[in-house]
Amino acid sequence: MRIIRDYQFVEPRDRGASAAIGNFDGVHLGHQSVIRLAREADSAAPLGVLTFEPHPRKFFAPNASPFRLMGQEARASRLAKLGVEKLYELNFNSAMAALTPEEFARRVLSQGLGLSHVVVGADFAFGKDRAGKASNLQQFGEQMGFGVTVAELVEAGSGQVSSTSIRAALSNGEPRKAAAQLGHWHRIEGKVIGGEQRGRELGFPTANMSIDGLHPPKFGVYAVLVEVRNGPHQGQYMGAASIGVRPMFGENHANLESFLFDFKGDLYGATLSVALVDYLRPEEKFDSLEALITQMDADCARARTILAAL
């Protein structure tokens, strides 16, 4: 998959795609449906996705609480797995935000990227002040020579699939509910960073990862599936993980600590993808280290049973 970040300097080989447009945070079932329609709309054209970095919400409200379900690299990895060939990850800045809907369609979609077809969701809004709607895009497409498909919103379970409802499920400690809308487990991806090595001292060595910039799931202990993406220990593992501030030790900066079952080795610097499967319990402060170890043994036993049944 090729990543293109400037619509004003596009090589000929990167033009002419049939592209789905949106933020694609989480790459949930609704996003997957839009991408599938883009493939079907022009099967002779490269399959593309047009998105923005930073997320427009982050641009307009830089001090807002973290809300993203996945980082930039994790999104690109997920899109590549779906067969996307051209990822137009355009810089969202003041100049982009100032484009009128007509200017966006002409300068970016038509002249800049030369798209053959675009697919958007029924709730799509674009251009300065989000003034452009899907119906406007259809009109611009007719004028400028690219096709437009407006996709119906996808429903799963109790309602429409959306990044907002997925965030709510994760905040409530319901990773399976989130997965039903995502079409895959919710994963936290990143490099293993140095920690205090308390887990090693307790007999549960953990791989520590930052969750900075991401929407924090409900703090507590989870049954997880872990993919080690690189290094000598590359592979798939089962495990238990804790997300939170480690109240037992007076910490206050949230992170993710994963204990991989039946694993021996050093994971520092490796890239991990940790899938949240089930929420086991909230964070607790125990009366003693012995009580903590007893609970961790019980957590791991329960996680093994859950994961073995998948």
Pairing of strands 255-260, 2-4: unpaired
- Number of residues that this document lists for the chain: 310
Nearest Cα neighbor of 274 from 199, 203, 209 is 209
Contact 303, 239 (CB under 8 A): yes
* Nearest-angstrom CA–CA distance, 119 and 24: 13
Contact 265, 180 (CB under 8 A): no
Contact 256, 216 (CB under 8 A): no
Amino acid identity at 222: Y
Residues forming beta bridges with residue 63, ordered by sequence position: none
Rounded (10°) angle between helices 175-182 and 163-171: 160
CA 307, chain centre distance (Å):
22
Which residues are the active-site residues? 257
User: Whose structure tokens read 């290094």?
Assistant: 231
| Helical spans, DSSP H, in the chain | 29-41, 56-60, 72-81, 94-98, 101-103, 134-144, 163-171, 175-182, 198-202, 289-308
C-beta neighbour count of 119 within 10 angstroms: 28
Instruction: Cis check for the bond before 54: say yes or no (omega within 30 of 0).
Output: yes
3-class SS of residue 97: helix
Contact 114, 108 (CB under 8 A): no
